[in-house]
Structure 1
Amino acid sequence: MTLSVPTANAVDLRTEPVDRVFDQVEQSLGVHLDRETVVRKRRSVGARTDRDSWVRIERRGLDRVGKQGWDGAACAEALQGVAKPTWYGSVSWRGASEGVMWRADETALLPGAPVGTSIVAVDPDVSDGWWGALNASLDALAAQQSNRIATPDTESITQLLVNETIWSVFPKSLDTTVEQWRLAHADLNWANVTAPEFCLFDWEDWGMAPRGLDAATLWGASLAVPALAERVRRERREDFASRDGMVMTLFVAAKILGPHAHPEDPRLVPARAVSEQVIKELQAG
C-alpha cells in the first residue's frame, strides 16, 4: 500500500494574516519580531528581531518538503568562502491544517538592502567589486560537494526535469544530457542579493545542480535590461561557454518562453534570440 502525502492548499503570505505564526516564533525562539520591519513574499515572511537578527518564516506543504528536508539555511553553514548571513538557529512545526509545515530560521542581519525585485527592469548599477564578490562566492560554492539536490522553484532538479522543461519549448531532438553537476544556490535573483556589499541569502533551495544553473538564473532575471544580462554572461562566461551552461540557458529560457509567458514580458525577445544561438552551438557540437 502506498501512503500519500497530504497536499497543502496554495497560500500567498503577502496577503494572509500571520499574527499567530509570529506569536509561535517569538515564543519558540525567545525573540520579539518588529512588526514595522516585516517583509512579505509569496511563500515566506521575515522581520527584524530585538536582538539585531533576522527571522525568515516559511510555510510549505508536506509534499514540498521533499526527501532532503528544508533545512537549507542551517546546512549552508558548512559552506566555505561564500558571502552569506550567519545562521543562528531555527524552529519548525506542523500547522493546524493537515499537510502544512512552518519553519523559522534566525540569521545575522544582511550587510545591505536587497538589490531589487527578483526580476529587474532598471540596471542596479552595482560596482566592479560587487561582481568580483559574486564571482568569488559562486566559484567557492561550485568547488564544494553535498548530498543535497537543488530545488529551483521547490522542485528537485534532475536530468528528467531538465529534459522535460527544455523539450516543452525547444526541439526534442536536442541532446540535453548534463555532464557536470556542481553546487548551486538555485534561486539566484536580484531579490536574494544585497548591495553595495555583496551577500547571497535565502538558502532554502541550494544543492547539486547542472553547471551554470546560477549564472543562467541571474541572466534570466536580468533580461529586461539588455546591458545587465550581457554583463552577467560576461562575468560568468566560463559557465555559459560550457555545454552544461548552454543547457541551463535553455532551461531558464524555456520557463520564460513557455505556455504561461506574458505576451508583454520584455524578456521574451532577448530570451528567444539567445536561445536560437545556443541551439545552433549545441547542434554544431
Structure 2
Amino acid sequence: MQRAFARSAQTLGATMTSPKVWGWHGRTLSSRVQHPDRGACWLRLLSAPEDKAAGKIWEGNGQAAALFDRRIRKPLLYDTTESSSNGYAYQAELHQYVDETVCSPSPVLHTDLDPPTAWWDSLRTDLEYVSSVSTDRVAVRQEWVDRSVPRFLNMPGPRITDWTTAHGDLHTANLTSATPYLLDWEGFGLAPAGYDAAMLLAYSLLVPGFAQHLRDAFPVLKSEPGRVAQIIVITELLQSASRGDHPELVPALRALATELCGCR
C-alpha cells in the first residue's frame, strides 16, 4: 500500500504534504497532497485483490462524481489512476481538498454537536437532490433484508416499497462541520426512502440531543417508510457489531428497535 501510494502520487503529479491516514480495516490509504495545477488535494488509494477490483465499491466515487459533482456539496474528483502489483489492484483518486474538520473522528458520534440551522438545511437539500437522481446501483437489497432482519431482530423483514438513491454511508465522520460537505461516496445507490437519515440517526444514538435535532430535521423518520429504513439500518449495524464493529452501539440499537416494532 505504501509503495503503491507513492507510485500513484508520482503518476498523478502530486506531492504528499501531510501524514498518511489508514481507512477502515486498512483498505484505503489517504493523505493531503499538493498538485501543480489543482493546489491542495486529497489523494485516496483503494486496494483490492486483483480478481475483486471491480463493482460497486471500486466504481463508486467515479460514478458519484459523474452524477453529483458541482450539483451538491461534495469534494470534486479531479483524476484517477490504477495499478497492480503482487496480486493486488490499486485505484488512486485525486480529490478536491476540503479545509474543514469532520464532525466526528469515528462513525459513532460520542460528543454533542449543535450545527446551525443552515447546516441542517444544506444537508437536507443535498440529500433531497441525491434521492431524486436515477441510478442502477443498489445499496440495499430486499433479499438481504428478508434474510437478515429475522436473524438479528427476530421479526419478518419489512417490504421496501419506496426506493430512492442514497449516499449509503451517512454518519458524522463523513460530514464536515461547517458546510457540510458529504464525503466518501463509494457505497451510494438505491435504498429505502429515509435511509440516509436513518443511518445518521443510528450512528448518533449515544448523543440524544443531536439525535433529536436530526429527527426534527428529517420528518421522514416519523413516517412508515422511515420506520422501515430504521429497522433495516439497525439490522445492518447489529450485523456489523457481530463482527466486532462499534459494539458500544448495540444497547441503543436494541432500544430503538423495541421502540419501533417491539423487537428485542
State whether TM-score is above 0.5. Answer: yes
Q: 2:243 and 2:135 mapped to 1: Cα distance?
A: 34
Aligned residues: 252
1:261: how far off? 7.9
One-letter amino acid matched to 2:235: A
% of aligned pairs identical?
Answer: 25
Relative to total residues, which structure has the larger helix share, 1 or 2? 2
SS of the aligned residue for 1:27 comes to helix
1:55: how far off? 0.8
Aligned to 1:20: 3
One-letter amino acid matched to 2:32: R
1:49: how far off? 1.4
Aligned to 1:71: 59
1:61: how far off? 3.4
**Contact map agreement 1:223 1:266 (CA 8 A) in 2:** no
Q: Is 1:191 paired with 2:173?
A: yes
Q: 1:56 and 1:69 mapped to 2: Cα distance?
A: 13
Structure 1 unmatched ranges of 5 or more: 1-17, 151-156
**Contact map agreement 1:84 1:199 (CA 8 A) in 2:** yes
1:170: how far off? 1.8
1:68: how far off? 4.4
Q: 1:39 and 1:161 mapped to 2: Cα distance?
A: 32
1:134: how far off? 0.7
Q: Given the two structures, how large is their TM-score scaled by the length of structure 1?
A: 0.80
Q: 2:72 and 2:90 mapped to 1: Cα distance?
A: 27
Deviations 1:208-239 (A, max 9, x none): 1121221111111101111222222221122x
**Which one of 90, 97, 116 corresponds to residue 102 of structure 1?**
90
Q: Structure 2 vs 1, CA of residues 188 and 26 (structure 1 numbering), >3 Å: closer, same or farther?
A: same
Q: 2:253 and 2:31 mapped to 1: Cα distance?
A: 35
SS of the aligned residue for 1:106 comes to strand
Q: Is 1:121 paired with 2:110?
A: yes
Aligned to 1:47: 31
SS of the aligned residue for 1:47 comes to strand
Deviations 1:107-165 (A, max 9, x none): 11114111112111101222221111110110110011112222xxxxxx211112222
Q: Structure 2 vs 1, CA of residues 222 and 76 (structure 1 numbering), >3 Å: closer, same or farther?
A: same
1:66: how far off? 5.0
Q: 2:234 and 2:173 mapped to 1: Cα distance?
A: 19
How well do the aligned residues superpose, as a CA RMSD in angstroms?
2.4
